[in-house]
Structure 1
């Protein structure tokens, strides 16, 4: 819970610090501008609220690592849902409204998470998780999207070190093997999820793991 709160607060603070004119700049998500990414975060916050309000008595079917559906195809922005996000973001017109909406819904999601019982079970995407595992999965969601936010905004603060470290651990669980120790946590996440192409030297370090990449999380 503490990492969920830490990473979510850091991401919302980073969005709040982005100049309005920078909402029209590219993000680290293919096909999305910063405004599109922030609109997606509003939807994410709504998903957190919906999931925490959807209890289940069934046994868990997923945990924080297996929550993710993994493919090898990076998004292009052409997916119908991705395209819908772009249209929704454009409808805001004034980026200040997006900031306000994220702060409003995002704060509510944070409060709901702080009040939740970690051992309770919830249903989402036709799967059952404990609240603790669900919130831990979102540590990776917040951390990856924080990296997306700052991809072309070097003046904006990056994600917390603890969130980066835990997200790396989750990605290594998904991969089934550790990434090279020479990779920073941020580079592990960027290269591992296909957000950045590995350099020649990095490919050598990755060795057999390179054939498994990218691990595109959905």
Structure 2
């Protein structure tokens, strides 16, 4: 949970520092430009606010690792919700409006996270988990999307070493296995989630785990 705020702040800062031209560049998400990804982050911030304001009385059914569901195939960008995000992003027309909305809603989500009781039980997506586990799970979301944001922007700042390391731990928990020690945290996340294909050497090092990749988490 301690990494939620710094990872979210780093991601929003990276967006704030983008040029208008950067918004038209491809992102690391299939079928999405950077502007589409930023629009998705606004929706993510809204989800955080909604979830933290939706307390639950029942016992937790998920934790920071089991919160994530693994899909069988990578997204193609054709999903109706993905397509809706693209249309919403285009409606903003000017990058500064996307920046403003992300800063506005994103700052509120950050404040709500800092004020949240980690033991509070919250409900989202028909599951119950503590606010602490929910916010810890989102470190993986922020870190992966930070990598997506800078995928084709070599001069943009990427996620912190701490966020990369923690996200790798979460992904290994989802996989039920550790990635080879030879993999840098960034590479473990990119290869593990199908954001890039493994090299022949990486595939050999992965062994049996290679057959279970990519882990499409959502």
Q: TM-score, normalised by structure 2?
A: 0.99
Deviation at 1:2, TM superposition (A): 2.2
| Structure 2 equivalent of residue 155 of structure 1 | 155
| Structure 2 equivalent of residue 166 of structure 1 | 166
Distance (whole Å) between structure 1 residues aligned to residue 71 and residue 49 of structure 2: 26
Return 70-79 or 31-40, whichever deviates more: 70-79
Distance (whole Å) between structure 2 residues aligned to residue 20 and residue 59 of structure 1: 46
Aligned-pair Cα RMSD in Å: 0.5
Structure 2 gap segments, 5+ residues each: none
Which secondary structure does the structure 2 equivalent of 1:2 belong to? coil
User: Cα deviation per residue 1:28-57 (whole Å; 9 max; x = unaligned)?
Assistant: 000000000000000000000000000011
User: Cα deviation per residue 1:99-128 (whole Å; 9 max; x = unaligned)?
Assistant: 000000000000000000001100000000
User: Cα deviation per residue 1:88-108 (whole Å; 9 max; x = unaligned)?
Assistant: 000000011000000000000
Aligned length in residues: 218
Distance (whole Å) between structure 1 residues aligned to residue 73 and residue 153 of structure 2: 26
Matches within 5 A, 1:41-120: 41-120=41-120
Deviation at 1:22, TM superposition (A): 1.0
**Are the equivalent residues in 2 in contact too, given 1:116–1:131 (CA < 8 A)?**
yes
Deviation at 1:71, TM superposition (A): 1.5
Distance (whole Å) between structure 1 residues aligned to residue 61 and residue 20 of structure 2: 42
Structure 1 gap segments, 5+ residues each: none
4+ residue stretches of structure 1 with deviation over 6 A? none
User: Cα deviation per residue 1:165-205 (whole Å; 9 max; x = unaligned)?
Assistant: 01000100111110000000010000000000001110010
Distance (whole Å) between structure 2 residues aligned to residue 99 and residue 129 of structure 1: 31
Distance (whole Å) between structure 2 residues aligned to residue 135 and residue 210 of structure 1: 29
Distance (whole Å) between structure 1 residues aligned to residue 54 and residue 19 of structure 2: 36
Distance (whole Å) between structure 2 residues aligned to residue 177 and residue 46 of structure 1: 32
| Structure 1 equivalent of residue 121 of structure 2 | 121
